[in-house]
Structure 1
């Protein structure tokens, strides 16, 4: 019996080893990535509150909060933003004078151990990803496009090649204007695809589920590198959601980006000022036809709650937006079906901020609706609608983006394909607003909004 048990155990180990090897060698089919985020991703990103200086314990604290307070509402991604591989970065602007980079022998960035202690002994983000995964959440990171200048200068080898080195695949064309860490990767050169394959193989081994890649879309749309990245993700054996950044993503690249990324920024960074919200709403007008399962136009991170603890814009503060403006931001992000990536420090949330993230009816609309369309946007008035194909309910968002208080916004119910009497519910408060017919109108304060559910019935 002892010998039989030993043989059985050895066989099981062998089967598991073969299964693991098979999983790591999986190559996904073209377009399969669109099944990885059939609803818009919900999560947290460290940028708005920690800039390039976030530390492991802070990531863990936000993951703890999400698991306890938000996971049951669908929030799941925990994302470490920019420059996690620099030991001595600083808030309020990057340290580009004397940054201490951490790289492995193949020129791939590694987490700075003084900020991420679990990365010691070459572990990378394995342990931090495992910490997040154990809470039933998913783990993400940020990178810059391109190849480290340090790797090029040292002529470091590219993993998976027969002697190709970093200095053989780089270009000095179209470099990032605001951060000088990397060179462009020349997609035409042998070893370019292998370089991207090597970093995504590493991220898959770490357990990365989400990656935000910067300097891909604006001011230049880097189509060649986006294709290298898409190929590398599809070959890495792990489903990694791809977010391209920043905006403004050029609209003439809409078909390309929607066929290579799960989400893409429509706009540059959105901070807690009213002009950022109105600019976003204006730029979004052309993107409605591209709101589709698996590929999402992205409104950027949600600048609510406590911001800039060690951030890039302003001092440590609670969001500068008024409550009406916060409702407007969350209503627009939600009915537009943008990914919802919270930027504030989650453990610092007050009750009001938490309420904006946990409204079941609003999140149901965000998750289940379709056919999002702009009814009108003019003279400080905006109306957006969508439908829930499961329930037959219609959603309507009205916005007074002007400085005029008491502005009346009207919608003809026939324009929503609603004939007869319609029951109206305020989605944020749950208040029943009675039965309407023909026209629905609301008076809204300056910078205020309303979000409604409409259903046929007496």
Structure 2
């Protein structure tokens, strides 16, 4: 039977109950170390998968079959798949939408000798390889929906199927009798892999390697919450629970096999314990319920509170806001699910949907069809909106305090967002989620972004300059938005920690006065997981640049942090080297330590963190460079 995951869980996410869970004098930084000191310096800790995909910042631009399969509750016919690929190649691939991806309706009973499916659906004539080549001829790639933890019942029943690299182990031997995916809701064609059995690792990693070898670039892995706990928040018990330890093992094996060769999209994860497993082993995570029928209700409506089970947030506005502390370069790509412009009631809603996905760094996933897109394709192809996405924009909502959004629904603002680009410019998004009233939204450049002086403003949707000023404000009709680019006039570029990527326990706060902008990053201290702050900085040419670190340190002694500079592909540019931060009077006193840093031409990821070789603690407000 086809795995019709969307139809199975429609509406359940909405039904589940929510559960709320003046600068001090400068000091001189330590200069980059010599070879001996470099060798002795501790490398910055890595507490995330940190793949080339997450280091880019944003999710992919692509098309998915959902817009056909969901309303039809059936696998997309191969002829329809081809017609949509040809349309995508002509109308959207030139703008960067260069991947086509399957989803969860295909039923395949044709397998390799190791039990791996060879095509999307039994009704399709062609296999994966054919479609990889068909797409490649059009400058595109294939994404596949499949969970490597699944073993088809036909494979289990046939002892001729053996584990890849282990001809002594039958595929049937890596499952437990009766351990069937979704057995309590009527599924009967897929078993779950038992990761405690010999051969399980080879099977799971072999599945990832199999897709990589075919040229698949993106693997969408679904129903992870069902594997971990055996439950669904809207349905109840669905199958046997496998536990968080086995879940982590499975994710780790997939991560090891994937490397930088395939992007791992984790779908329907519980995200327990602040996504501690998903951030270590995945590139992308779904942060809201399924797109379902699309439209404004799925974008902004439904349950607004948090629950400690999939989907913890119902709509993308809440999900992006609630998980903003886990997003950014090298951390997690937040996936707001599919977009269907034909399901929205107005152009204002279409602009809001694209603007929200863009400012949050989400994939832009088209699920309209060649037959349903109508005149709405413009929403996906605005060149200035795509330009900031392609520069790796991952913004954050305005934070009012450091309390998690799951515990305090007033701690973050879902309708005011900002993000900083590698060239030092900003993108600001203002939204009106109200259904009836026109409202005014404002972002003050100094007060929230820490911009010194004025800045020029350009509207990205109208593609017009709005002049210079010290704030941006908009009167917004219901469901409308404003998306602008803001370019500070100051020659020295200031990159704010509050809008950077926070790793390993680094944490937003604003509980001390005197800092510039919305706040600062704290928990750069011993006892955390290995806290880091990563900034994406564009350098016009390779060379040595002056850098200033704006910090507070009231530990009573000099503290140190380690700095490292890499390219997005992890090529080391400079460091690691230590920077010393002299003690100050109290945590409301801020100072700037200056030094130098070597950068490569183009985008550099500058990471500042607390290693085991460092001492003390600091709060970090921003770094400033003469790039």
Report if aligned partners of 1:372, 1:385 keep a CA contact under 8 Å in 2. Answer: yes
1:323 aligns with 2:347: yes
Contact map agreement 1:209 1:238 (CA 8 A) in 2: no
Instruction: Rate the CA distance shift 1:237–1:373 in 2: closer, same or farther, 3 A.
Output: closer
| Structure 1 residue 404 displacement after superposition | 3.3
CA apart distance, 1:346: 4.1
Structure 1 regions of 5+ residues with no counterpart? 1-29, 87-100, 120-124, 306-317
Q: Is the counterpart of residue 189 in structure 1 residue 197 in structure 2?
A: yes
Say if 2:51 and 2:259, in contact at 8 Å, map to a contact too: no
- The separation in 2 between residues aligned to 1:384 and 1:293, in whole angstroms, is 17
The answer as to whether partners of 2:223 and 2:267 remain within 8 angstroms in 1 is yes
Q: Which runs of 5+ in 2 are unaligned?
A: 1-46, 230-243, 301-314, 400-408, 491-627
Q: Could you tell me which residue of structure 2 aligns to residue 41 of structure 1? A: 60
CA distance in 2, matches of 1:203, 1:235: 11
Matched, 1:150 2:157: no
Aligned partners of 2:334 and 2:360 also within 8 Å: no
CA distance in 2, matches of 1:403, 1:167: 54
1:290-340 CA-to-partner distances (Å, cap 9, x unmatched) read: 2233554333433314xxxxxxxxxxxx31443222211111000000112
CA–CA distance in 2 between the matches of 1:293 and 1:138? Answer: 23
Q: 2:457 aligns with which of 424, 436, 439?
A: 424
Superimposed CA distance per residue, residues 348-395 of structure 1 (whole angstroms, 9 cap, x where no aligned partner): 4233x22111111111222225562211586996100011122x2211
RMSD between aligned alpha carbons? Answer: 3.1
1:230-257 deviation per Cα after TM superposition (whole angstroms, max 9, x unaligned): 535644798111111125x425252321
1:261 partnered with 2:264: no
TM-score scaled by length of structure 1? 0.77
Q: Find the counterpart in structure 1 of residue 606 from structure 2.
A: none
Which residue does 2:379 correspond to in 1?
Answer: 356
Q: Which residue of 1 aligns with 2:267?
A: 245
After TM superposition, list the pairs within 5 Å mapping 1:4-23 onto structure 2: none
Name 1:436's counterpart in structure 2. 469
Contact 1:409 1:441 in 2 (8 A): yes
Question: Once the two structures are superposed, what CA deviation does each residue of 1:183-208 show, in whole Å capped at 9, x if it has no partner?
Answer: 22111110101111332333233321
Counterparts in 2 of 1:361 and 1:298: CA distance versus 1, 3 Å: same
Map Cα deviations across residues 78-122 of structure 1 (whole Å, 9 max, x no partner).
112224334xxxxxxxxxxxxxx3334433223267532123xxx
The structure carrying a bigger helix percent of its residues is 1
Say if 1:381 and 1:398, in contact at 8 Å, map to a contact too: no
Deviations 1:152-174 (A, max 9, x none): 23344323214222332214558
Measure how far apart 1:283 and its partner are.
2.5
Evaluate the alpha carbon distance shift between residue 33 and residue 160 of structure 1 in structure 2; reply closer, same or farther with a 3 A threshold: farther
For residue 324 of structure 1, give the secondary structure of its aligned residue in structure 2: helix
**Structure 1: how far apart are the matches of 2:427 and 2:259?**
39
Structure 2 residue matching 1:108: 3-state secondary structure: coil
Cα distance between partner residues in 1 of 2:427 and 2:435: 25
Say if 2:141 is the partner of 1:138.
yes
Q: 1:215 to 1:412 in 2, by over 3 A?
A: same
Residues 136 and 291 of structure 1: CA distance in aligned 2, closer, same or farther (over 3 Å): same
Distance in 1 separating the partners of 2:274 and 2:190: 24
| TM value normalised by structure 2 | 0.57
1:107 aligns with 2:115: yes
- Tell me, yes or no, if the aligned pair for 1:185 and 1:225 is still in contact at 8 Å: no
**2-side partners of 1:396 and 1:295: how far apart?**
21
**What secondary structure is seen at the aligned counterpart in 2 of 1:152?**
helix
- Report the number of matched residues: 395
**Contact 1:33-1:239 at 8 Å conserved across structures:** no
Instruction: Provide the residue aligned with 2:83 in structure 1.
Output: 61
Encode CA deviations 1:108-138: one digit per residue, 9 max, x unaligned: 223267532123xxxxx11111111111111
SS where residue 455 of structure 1 aligns?
A: strand
